[in-house]
Structure 1
Amino acid sequence: MIRGIRGAITADDNSEQSIVESTLSLLRVMIKENDILPEEVASVFISATPDLNASFPAKALRSLEGWTFVPVMCMQEMPVPHSLEKCIRVMIHVNTSKKQEDIHHVYLKGAKHLRPDLNRT
């Protein structure tokens, strides 16, 4: 069965370094908390708010060993007024036998308040 694992983090600024480092930090926690192996991943969607355009967040995923062949797509988050700025969101679609309540969704830095009901980190 395929399950979605959600995560979000804020970047410090609109620079390639900040976008890639923030995304990498989030991915590492998501992978660790859910014991994800790249060969079990169907795809990864990554969105960023319109104020983050200095780099593709997927660049972070490509730096992880074993993730070369995982399909990944970046997209722009909807520009909803008064929404969280400088936010990167990740959805990992993973083949797993875990129940939904056993999935660990991860929200870091300024994104912690987005889904406090799901965040266990």
Structure 2
Amino acid sequence: MLVRGIRGATTVTTNDADEILLATTELLNKIVQENTIDPEQISHVWITMTQDLDATFPARAVRTIEGWELVPIMCSLEIPVAGSLPMCIRIMLNVNTDKTQAEIHHIYLNEAAKLRPDLVERTQTLS
């Protein structure tokens, strides 16, 4: 068994706690669904947000999902690169799995689909 990173990102339209929590939950649920993940498989979760989002910790959304209470989660700010995508939440799940890199489905929702169109197209083709 290997540890594989599964990436995902999404955007919100406002710096609002409820919107951030909803978007984080939606993204995580889609990653879990597309990759058939059980919380027991997860080594840890890394979540970042752009500096224009500070209304809440996105980890709060993960903590409300049954079975995820003990999964280690860390939140951080993205590096503030000029011209980068604003209002963006990114997730990296590190999962213990027998899947190959090619079998992993990375998920990019909303405006974040612009970040990795190659992976968005690949995931849509595999689904």
Normalising by structure 1, we get a TM-score of: 0.98
Q: Which runs of 4+ in 1 moved over 3 A?
A: none
Query: Aligned partners of 1:104, 1:116: CA distance in 2, in Å?
Result: 13
SS of aligned partner of 1:27: helix
The one-letter amino acid paired with 1:18 is E
Give structure 1 stretches of 5+ with no counterpart.
none
More helix by share: 2
Normalising by structure 2, we get a TM-score of: 0.94
Match of 2:38 in 1: 37
Deviation, structure 1 residue 59:
0.7
Sequence identity, in percent? 50
Match of 1:76 in 2: 77
Match of 1:50 in 2: 51
Report Cα offsets for 1:77-102 as digits up to 9, x if no partner.
01101100000000000000000000
Match of 2:109 in 1: 108
Match of 1:65 in 2: 66
Deviation, structure 1 residue 12:
1.7
Give structure 2 stretches of 5+ with no counterpart.
none
Match of 1:28 in 2: 29
The one-letter amino acid paired with 1:27 is L
Report Cα offsets for 1:29-66 as digits up to 9, x if no partner.
00000000000000000000000000001111111110
Query: Aligned partners of 2:34, 2:13: CA distance in 1, in Å?
Result: 23
Deviation, structure 1 residue 118:
1.3
Query: Aligned partners of 1:98, 1:116: CA distance in 2, in Å?
Result: 22
Q: How many residues align?
A: 121
Deviation, structure 1 residue 73:
0.2
Query: Aligned partners of 2:52, 2:23: CA distance in 1, in Å?
Result: 15
Query: Aligned partners of 1:11, 1:93: CA distance in 2, in Å?
Result: 24
RMSD: 0.6
